[in-house]
């Protein structure tokens, strides 16, 4: 029987998770929530996803019908027909929502805007799928942490030890945001280290990692500049690291000079050309000609499509929590095959 999935918060991440879930043959969307009858409701109607109100308030629920949308009830009604809820609300409202999920007796998944301390468990597919099998709730870590985990976990698995310093060059806002910035400044995050690197240790505590971050006026992607110290006797070369990543799930390695994909603008154009919905790129993009292993020091750059790298991870996390697939690679293969049948041109 298909796993019944609710999406609480049908915004940037929520609408993408809904479609990725809808593409799978072992799960179905039983409803999505909107706070009010705004334009995102039209998308839910087109997709045939039942709309529920974020609140149980009768007046707020009836506002949907007044705007011409069928609303099936409040959040409690949705939780009553679901096996698991993927919370895609804006960061920091999680604690109040978690209490509702626990009261409803269903499993829950939060996103990276929430703190590990609130969820007490975090998730990325490659780092700790098995530890999340059959648990009641988890947090899919942020887009940056997911990106770091994708390339660092295979390296750690090979080396058995890893020390990392990295700088996150962060997009200022998502393309659909009109109230964030900077629009003409470079803004260092004046909290050192930034939370991004240490957040990797919530899914892979064995990786020693620190980060700094700076926000720049772009909406397309984040870019990471990474320096990793490998242990003596690592046995790797620049080429074997590149091969390792090419053989790891959800990493694309391309040569910038040869392909002409030398900035995040071309990476995003490439994603649009291959027909990904919303122009998304679920994979982490590594520039082959930006990778250099010098002795024990590995240098590389990677680009992260902030709105989408976490999407397939949410699907794998659902399988982990519901206990239907304990092998992370099997889940990843299933998730990605279903998404690609649904997605590509």
Does 8 help bind ligand NAD (rule: CB under 6 A)? yes
Does 264 help bind ligand NAD (rule: CB under 6 A)? no
Does 218 help bind ligand NAD (rule: CB under 6 A)? no
Q: Between residues 112 and 249, which has the closer beta carbon with respect to ligand NAD?
A: 112
Which tokens go with 6?
A: 């609710």
Q: Which residue is nearest to ligand NAD (CB)?
A: 11
Q: Between residues 91 and 160, which has the closer beta carbon with respect to ligand NAD?
A: 91
Cβ-Cβ contacts under 8 Å for 25 (sequence gap 6 or more): 2, 338
**What residues from 150 to 189 belong to the interface with ligand NAD (CB under 6 A)?**
174
Smallest gap from residue 12 Cβ to ligand NAD (A): 3
Burial of 300 by CB count in 10 Å (0-12 exposed, 13-18 middle, 19+ buried)? buried
Smallest gap from residue 216 Cβ to ligand NAD (A): 15
C-alpha 116, offset from chain centre? 15
Active site residue 41: no
Smallest gap from residue 208 Cβ to ligand NAD (A): 24
**What residues from 77 to 96 belong to the interface with ligand NAD (CB under 6 A)?**
88-91, 93
**What residues from 96 to 155 belong to the interface with ligand NAD (CB under 6 A)?**
97, 111-114, 142-143
Which tokens go with 221?
A: 């992607």
Instruction: Find the part of the chain contacting ligand NAD (CB under 6 A) among 6-14, 244-252, 292-300, 314-322.
Output: 6-14
Task: Tell me the C-alpha distance between 104 and 74, whole Å.
Answer: 13
**CA dist 104 → 79, 108, 125, 255 (Å):** 6, 10, 27, 50
Given a contact cutoff of 8 angstroms between Cβ atoms, the answer to whether 279 and 272 are in contact is yes
Judge if the upstream peptide bond of residue 56 is cis by omega within 30 degrees of 0: no
b/e sequence 277-297, b meaning 16+ C-beta within 10 Å? bbbbbbbbbbbbeebebeeee
Residue with tokens 């915004």: 11
Helix, strand, coil distribution of the chain in percent, nearest 5: 40, 25, 40
Q: Between residues 54 and 335, which has the closer beta carbon with respect to ligand NAD?
A: 54
For residues 44 to 83, the per-residue mask of contacts with ligand NAD, x marking binding by CB under 6 A and - elsewhere, is: ----------x-----------------------------
State which of residues 83, 283, 288, 307 lies at the interface with ligand NAD (CB under 6 A).
307
Q: Between residues 50 and 112, which has the closer beta carbon with respect to ligand NAD?
A: 112
From the candidates 41, 53, 88, 143, give the one annotated as an active-site residue.
143
State which of residues 7, 13, 261, 315 lies at the interface with ligand NAD (CB under 6 A).
13
Q: What is the 3-state secondary structure (H, E, C) of 206-235?
A: CCEEEEEEEEECCCCCEEEEEEEECCCCCC
Residues lying near ligand NAD in the complex (CB under 6 A) are found at 8-14, 33, 35, 54, 88-91, 93, 97, 111-114, 142-143, 174, 306-307, 310
Residue numbers annotated as active site: 143
């Amino acid at each position: 029987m298909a796993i019944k999935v609710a999406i609480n918060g049908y915004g940037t991440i929520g609408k993408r998770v809904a479609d990725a879930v809808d593409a799978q043959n072992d799960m179905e969307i039983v409803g999505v929530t909107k706070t009010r009858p705004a334009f995102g409701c039209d998308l839910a109607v087109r997709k045939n996803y039942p709309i529920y109100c974020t609140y149980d308030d009768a007046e707020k629920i009836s506002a949907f019908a007044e705007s011409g949308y069928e609303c099936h009830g409040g959040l409690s009604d949705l939780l009553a027909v679901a096996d698991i809820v993927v919370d895609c609300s804006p960061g920091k409202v999680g604690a109040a929502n978690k209490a509702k999920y626990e009261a409803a007796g269903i499993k829950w998944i939060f996103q990276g805007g929430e703190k590990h301390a609130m969820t007490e468990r975090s998730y990325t597919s490659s780092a700790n799928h098995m530890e999340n099998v059959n648990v009641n709730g988890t947090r899919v870590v942020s887009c940056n942490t997911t990106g770091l985990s994708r390339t660092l976990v295979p390296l750690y698995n090979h080396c058995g030890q890893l020390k990392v310093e990295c700088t996150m060059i962060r997009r200022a806002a998502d393309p659909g945001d009109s109230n964030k910035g900077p629009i003409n400044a470079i803004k260092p995050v004046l909290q050192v280290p930034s939370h991004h690197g240490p957040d990797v240790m919530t899914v892979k505590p064995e990786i020693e990692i620190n980060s700094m971050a700076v926000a720049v006026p772009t909406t397309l992607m984040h870019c990471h500049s990474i320096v990793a110290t490998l242990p003596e006797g690592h046995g790797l070369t620049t080429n074997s690291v590149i091969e390792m990543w090419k053989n790891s799930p959800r990493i694309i390695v391309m040569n910038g000079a040869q392909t002409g994909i030398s900035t995040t603008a071309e990476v995003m154009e490439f994603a649009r050309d291959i027909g990904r919905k919303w122009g998304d790129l679920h994979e982490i993009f590594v520039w082959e000609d930006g990778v250099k292993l010098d002795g024990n020091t590995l240098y590389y750059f990677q680009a992260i499509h902030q709105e989408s790298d976490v999407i397939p991870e949410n699907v794998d996390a659902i399988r982990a929590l519901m206990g239907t697939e304990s092998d992370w690679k099997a889940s990843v293969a299933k998730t990605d095959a279903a998404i690609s049948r649904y997605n590509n041109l």
